[in-house]
Amino acid sequence: MSTLTEFFTALGRYDFLQSALITAIMVGIMSGVIGSFIILRGMSLMGDAISHAVLPGVAVAYMLGINVLIGASVFGILAALLIGFVAAHSKIKTDTSIGVVFSAFYALGFILISMAESATNLHHILFGNILAVSDSDIMTTAVVLGIVILFVVGFYKELLITSFDETYARTYGLHAQLLHYGLMLVLTLVTVSALQTVGIILVVAMLITPAATAFLWTDKLSTMLVMAAGVGVISAIVGLYFSYTFNWASGPAIVIVAAALFAISFAISPKQGFLPKRK
């Protein structure tokens, strides 16, 4: 337990650790909420694709000295549009289209990053560098969290019905396609925020694992959103503790905790657990 005391003492003492914790908690909430819609819409692969496709945007933003969110959003949406375009205008299936587009964007990102070498550290982009969170990073993350909450609360009905029964939504005149791209935009923003915490490679884990864990426990969408956010937050806090204590990289530490929570839920959850059910 002494390491735990140490962690909390350090938390009181070091600003960088407080900043890391606050950011990690905010990222845990937003990725759990948006991730829930991603898995319910059967778009896990799309989530993975968008999170990788923002890489050239990050590089371009560094080169031009503009906000990373803007650069990443442009490329995230571009990738989503291109994936939709290729799938709609050929006989190629969506998952194949995703594979082609996102790997191309990812490759382009690597080339651009190497061209902008001096300004960025590829390792931090790939694996996250949560202990170097600046005040402006916290502000940006808070703004994204605000956008996520406004989006989900404002369009809760529409997100629910297009995820569950898109055909019906379209028959009463809902613009399902527009909502899809709205969700892709918000997903891009979440990805960029999560970039610093867990890195590009593991963003998809933060989107999917807490949401999948929550899915095992509840039959109600609103409960699932709150639980997914909760699992995201717990993973972030416990992961950060491991990261600090054992000197693990923060991203893998957070993701491994989320995966452990999923494994426990998989075994004991009432909905589809392995253990015998008592009712």
Partner 1 sequence: MLQLKNLTVAYDDTPVFTDVAVNFDAGKITGIIGPNGAGKSTMIKAMLGLIKPLSGTATYNGQPLRDQQKRIAYVEQRKDLDLTFPINVFDVVLTGTYGQLGLFRSPGKAERTAAYEALAQVELTGFAPRQIGSLSGGQLQRVFVARAIVQQADIIILDEPFVGIDLQSETAIMTILKAWRDAGKTIIVVHHDLNKVSRYFDDLVVMNHGIIDFGPVAQTYSAANIEQAFSADLSAVLFDAKEGQA
CA-closest candidate to residue 76, choices 99, 104, 105: 105
From residue 11, give the alpha-carbon distance in Å to each of 37, 240, 245: 33, 11, 12
171 binds partner 1 (CB under 8 A): yes
The residue among 130 and 212 lying less far from partner 1, judged by its C-beta, is 212
x-or-dash string of contact with partner 1, 3-42, rule CB under 8 A: -------------------------------------x-x
CB 36, min distance to partner 1, A: 9
x-or-dash string of contact with partner 1, 198-217, rule CB under 8 A: -----------------x--
270 binds partner 1 (CB under 8 A): no
In the set 219, 246, 274, 275, which binds partner 1 (CB under 8 A)? 219
C-alpha–C-alpha distance, residues 125 and 106, integer Å: 12
3-state SS of the chain is: CHHHHHHHHHHHHCHHHHHHHHHHHHHHHHHHHHHHHHHHCCCHHHHHHHHHHCHHHHHHHHHHCCCHHHHHHHHHHHHHHHHHHHHHCCCCCHHHHHHHHHHHHHHHHHHHHHHCHHHCCHHHHHHCCHHHCCHHHHHHHHHHHHHHHHHHHHCHHHHHHHHHCHHHHHHCCCCHHHHHHHHHHHHHHHHHHHHHHHCHHHHHHHHHHHHHHHHCCCCCHHHHHHHHHHHHHHHHHHHHHHHHHHCCCHHHHHHHHHHHHHHHHHHHCCCCCCCCCCC
In the set 221, 226, 259, 260, which binds partner 1 (CB under 8 A)? 221
224 binds partner 1 (CB under 8 A): yes
89 binds partner 1 (CB under 8 A): no
The residue among 40 and 142 lying less far from partner 1, judged by its C-beta, is 40
168 binds partner 1 (CB under 8 A): yes
92 binds partner 1 (CB under 8 A): no
CB 255, min distance to partner 1, A: 24
CB 218, min distance to partner 1, A: 6
154 binds partner 1 (CB under 8 A): yes
The residue among 155 and 266 lying less far from partner 1, judged by its C-beta, is 155
Task: With contacts defined by CB under 8 A, name the span among 6-14, 23-31, 70-78, 149-157 that binds partner 1.
Answer: 149-157
In the set 158, 181, 185, 266, which binds partner 1 (CB under 8 A)? 158
Which residues are at the interface with partner 1 (CB under 8 A)?
A: 40, 42, 154-158, 160-161, 163-165, 167-174, 215, 218-221, 223-224
